[in-house]
Structure 1
Amino acid sequence: MTVLDTLSIFTALLEVLLQGGVIYGWPSIQFVLIQEGYFALNCSSPPDNGTITPCSSDEASFNLVFSLATVALMISAIPLGYIFDIFGTWTSRSIACFLSTFGWTLLAVMSPQTAGLLFPAMIMIATGGLHFLVSNVQLSDLTTNFKSAYIFLLNGAFDSAIVVFFLNKVAYDSGIHLTSVFQFMACLSVFPWLRTFLLMPKNKILVDKDSSVGRYGIMEILHFAKRTEINSSFNLQSPDQDNSNPEESSNNNTQNKNKELSLKSCLKSPLFWTNLIFLCVGYLRLVFYLGSYITWISQIQPPDRIDFFANLFGYILIAAGLAAPINGVICDAVVKYSGDSNISQNTRKLRGLFVTMFITGCIEIILNITVLTHSIYGSLVILLFFRSFLFGSVANFLALNFPMVHFGQLYGVTFFAAGLFSLLQYALFLSIENSYLFSIVNYLLLAVCILSFVHPALIIVKAYTNKASAVTRN
């Protein structure tokens, strides 16, 4: 890898950490917004200063903001994924940058009297954050020996973005006005704009180029300036000179490599659909936990302990980025060292994907159990791994099992379906008025999560089928 490759990868992780899955830090910022009196007008008796006493209408409004934002995040994956695959990186990332910047700006200008701005602001921040993740997955092609580890690390950074709202809460608790905090975040949203046009390709990453010309915006700009200077000195170009665009020819080569597996064939694959179902179930489990966290601890802890557990949520989940690469490293190790040399690379990949999916499924089951047993500390630790492993496993499966040229659209369809499925979360939120109903909902989620093990089962069956077919041919 070149210096620019390393710089692009490093800044990609930083960008996703600062602007990615910020919405999943919702419990931290919800606590602050309650203290500021947002949606308090919906209550017959507004909360006293310094205490957390949200009414049912208050909680319903906050849950609706979170539900709409997380659903919009997932549903937006399909149009932005299509734009990314068809029109390239600069176009799709420009849309994401605009959404992120405008969302933070809305937060900076809102007040308790204009609490309705929370809806478009959170939707824009969530939507833009997801596409920062999607557009940076292509950099995994630069790390062929550690492709899965990079994808999991990137998803870990996306999950660790909850630290943004947590640090916003810490700043607020230290006396900094909430408006000033959001103004700082609005200024920080300029960083993705700079990365887009300096350290990201105009279309897609070109791994087979000998130089960085055309790979990154900064080199493309410099190359264009140099070419303009040459053309101004020599108005004539040799007739036998190749006028083809090196980026276009490289893209054509990439397309030719993957033409044997079309987008339609990918969508017809049974494993694609079981992967989709795996994410739908896991994501519903995740967003229900995050959206009901404050309500849950309010039911089982005294009021003076809620602030402690709100802070604990942020402290523990900051480490999500450190836990994320574990599953990726395991997958890379299984792919590299699995079985003898006669096993095909595709079978090795399937074995690696089975291990990561099985581990993620087991952690999902344990998370359900910790919630049902009212183990707050245990649930937070398990959640730390589950959030990173869930998104990383799904993205890694699509990247390793299907051509990267279709990644944006396949990722978009998967997340779009999960977004629609997660609409159930708001109905679940409305049904947890007491601890008894909360337990019933969690038992139902546990049963559904067990059924999602169909996906890793089909993966390992296909791996053994491929191995048997290879032995028969030999």
Structure 2
Amino acid sequence: MVLSDTSKGDIGWKKWLVAGWAFMECLFFAGLLYGWASINFVLKSEGIYADLCEDTVNSSFLTYSVNNSESSVVNVVMLNATTTSSNMSEVSAKKQPCKPQDSKMALCFTVGSAMFCIGCAVLGYIHFRFGTRVTRLISFTMFVSGTLMMAFISKENPWLMFPGLSLMGTGGLPILVTNTQVSNLFLAGSSSVVGLLCGGFDMSSAVMLIVKIAYENGFSRMNMFIIITVMHSLFLVSTFFFLPKDFISKPVVKQGMESEIPEDGEAGIELLKQNNQTGEGTAAKTELPSLLSCLKQTKFITHVIWLCILQLRFYYILGTLNPYLNRILDGDEKQVSYFTDICFYIMMGGLLTSFLSGIVYDSQKRVFSDGKSQMYREIMPAVLPLALASALSVLLSILVLIPVTEVLYLTFIVMTVYRSFLYSLGAAFLSAIFPSEYFGMLYGIMIVCAGIFSILQYAFFSWAEAYPEAPLHANIFLLCLVLFSFVHPLYLWITCWKEEKKFKVN
């Protein structure tokens, strides 16, 4: 094994190899679920669930052919051909919206995102109970099953997209969860490493954009998903050769003891090598708080509520992106395709924005490093980044209320930055505040709560279809809802200052 080297307790450049490989896994496989808008476009172009749409022209033609003579049918066919020829440009440019088809697609994403979150909790427990390797092998099996189902979706078997999307998404998230522990190899800038991995997770939605572009250039969806399935076998390299069987434990750093930490930032390397050699969870006999005590902490509860609200906002706009673009662009299919591509081109910048959120978090750690209380030093750095994420959610909610084509570019930019801050900070906060052994469980519980809450997106989608002004009303309601997310950073700020004042008084 690459990391089982025992040369003087220092693996040097190998930690960068592990981090780089972890990033590539997140980039290509972890978050394919979030490329739903691109694959949604492909599936609708292939006519998946198109049988639910009303075709008034064909219905009229069939009725006429049944009730008239053979010669009349020929005349109708000629007339229909002439009409089709004269109106071809208009028909190709615009498509009438099909609400039953859109509803089915929205339901698929709702089910997929909910199973994604529930699966995260289950696999989080498996990660906590059985370690990294078992979790990744289960993840591998689920992901491969999902991508194969996505490959074989057809008009005869459209239902495959429901389990396919769910398994592909659920099998992808453990890639991020199991790789997050790599940040423990870096004493300095650990939050930036988490942000980088989350950036790869964000950018992985661009894989579905590649599938869409390939489809438009003559490649079949089936072949593209089979290629993804085959490439995923590289996932096993890290599973068996890079990562430990169990965990990479977080190094213990006490105030005033920094001089005992190696200057090269290799804290945790010896733990990793002992994990690889013995399979034990930690080399240091440190007593961990109970998992239940972590779950009961108010800062964990408010963090979960914060993620629930902001993820619902993100899921709703992502799941309804295609109908939203059709509404803004008056059903112009070419423009819808163009802006769908633009959206995911911009979202590929998630690497930079996720890394930015990690930099902001780490810079705040330096600002508050001289605090007297441990709570002030550990939690206060999260206040500004969390508040920025809430502010971006408010800005995004305002932008989607503006039905102007030019504003779409800014909407996609804000959407990209917002998503990066949301998921990077969601993971980085847990990684920084709680023991790394509990990360999988805590992250899974947080995500499953957010997933259950995000099922409301389907209710919002149904509301948006109810009457012409409904999309506006639904988005205004969501704007009011995301304002409540500021409670989390405000609570942390008040709590930290109260704790710090106690030390200053003493």
Using the size of structure 1 for normalisation, the TM-score is 0.88
Q: How does 1:87-98 map to 2 (within 5 A)?
A: 87-98=130-141
Q: Does 1:22 align with 2:65?
A: no
1:144 is aligned to: 187
Residue 323 of structure 1 corresponds to 353
Find the residue that maps to 2:156 and give its secondary structure: helix
Match of 1:448 in 2: 481
Q: Is the 8 A contact 1:108 1:186 kept in 2?
A: no
After TM superposition, give the deviation of residue 53 of structure 1 in Å.
Answer: 4.3
Quote the offset at 1:446 in angstroms.
Answer: 0.9
User: Does residue 1:267 correspond to 2:291, yes or no?
Assistant: no
5 Å matches for 1:292-441?
Answer: 292-304=320-332, 305-338=335-368, 341=370, 343-374=372-403, 375-433=407-465, 435-441=468-474
User: How much identity, in percent, do the aligned residues show?
Assistant: 29
User: Match of 1:372, SS?
Assistant: coil
Distance in structure 2 (CA, Å) of the matches to 1:34 and 1:109: 15
In the alignment, structure 2 segments of 5+ residues that lack a partner are 1-10, 59-90, 250-266
Shift of 1:352: 1.0
Ranges in structure 1 where 5+ consecutive residues have no aligned partner: 221-244
C-alpha change, 1:211 and 1:344, in structure 2 (3 Å) is: closer
> Aligned Cα RMSD in Å?
2.0
Q: Deviations over 1:349-384 (max 9, x none)?
A: 322100110111111110001011233222111001
Distance in 2 (CA, whole Å) between partners of 1:315 and 1:18 is: 15
Q: CA deviation at 1:264?
A: 1.2
**Alpha-carbon deviations, 1:386-432, whole Å to 9, x = none?**
11100111111111111112111111111111111011111111111
Q: CA contact under 8 A between 2:274 and 2:283: conserved in structure 1?
A: no
Q: Deviations over 1:132-155 (max 9, x none)?
A: 111111111011211111111111
Q: Give, in angstroms, the shift of residue 49 of structure 1.
A: 7.9
SS at match of 2:400: helix
1:60 matched to 2:103? The reply is yes
Q: Which residue in 2 is equivalent to 1:42?
A: 52
Q: Contact 1:160–1:318 (CA<8 Å) still a contact in 2?
A: yes
User: Which one of 454, 464, 471 corresponds to residue 497 of structure 2?
Assistant: 464
**Counterpart check, 1:190 vs 2:233:** yes
The change in CA–CA distance for 1:19 and 1:435 in structure 2 (over 3 A counts) is farther
> Is 1:126 matched up with 2:169?
yes
1:262 deviates by 1.5
Per the normalisation by structure 2, the TM-score is 0.83
**Equivalent position amino acid for 1:316 in 2:** I
In structure 2, which of residues 236, 247, 263 is the aligned counterpart of residue 204 of structure 1?
247
Matches within 5 A, 1:65-104: 65-104=108-147
Q: Distance in 1 between matches of 2:430 and 2:384?
A: 15
Shift of 1:66: 0.6
Q: What does the per-residue CA deviation read over 1:145-201, in whole Å, with 9 as the maximum and x for residues that have no partner?
A: 111111111111111111010010111111112211111111112121222112111
Aligned-partner residue type, residue 396 of structure 2 = L
Amino acid at match of 1:5: K
Q: Distance in 1 between matches of 2:395 and 2:165?
A: 30
Mapping of residues 209-228 of structure 1, within 5 Å: 209-210=269-270, 213-215=273-275
CA distance in 2, matches of 1:33, 1:366: 31
Distance between the aligned counterparts of 1:102 and 1:323, measured in 2? Answer: 31
Is residue 10 of structure 1 aligned with residue 20 of structure 2?
yes
Contact 1:17 1:157 in 2 (8 A): yes
CA contact (8 A) 1:320 1:385 kept: yes
Structure 1: which amino acid aligns with 2:460? L
From the superposition, tell whether residues 366 and 436 of structure 1 become closer, same or farther in structure 2 (CA, over 3 Å): same
Q: Which residue of 1 aligns with 2:317?
A: 289
Displacement of 1:257 after TM fit? 2.2
Contact 1:334 1:348 survives alignment (8 Å): no
Instruction: Check whether the contact 2:271–2:282 (CA below 8 A) recurs between aligned residues.
Output: no
Q: Residues 99 and 53 (structure 1 numbering): CA distance in 2 closer, same or farther, change over 3 Å?
A: farther
Aligned to 1:227: none
1:206-256 deviation digits (Å, cap 9, x = unpaired): 56454864555xxx5xxxxxxxxxxxxxxxxxxxxxxxx4x42xx3545x4
Partner of residue 238, structure 1: none
* Structure 1 match to 2:61: none
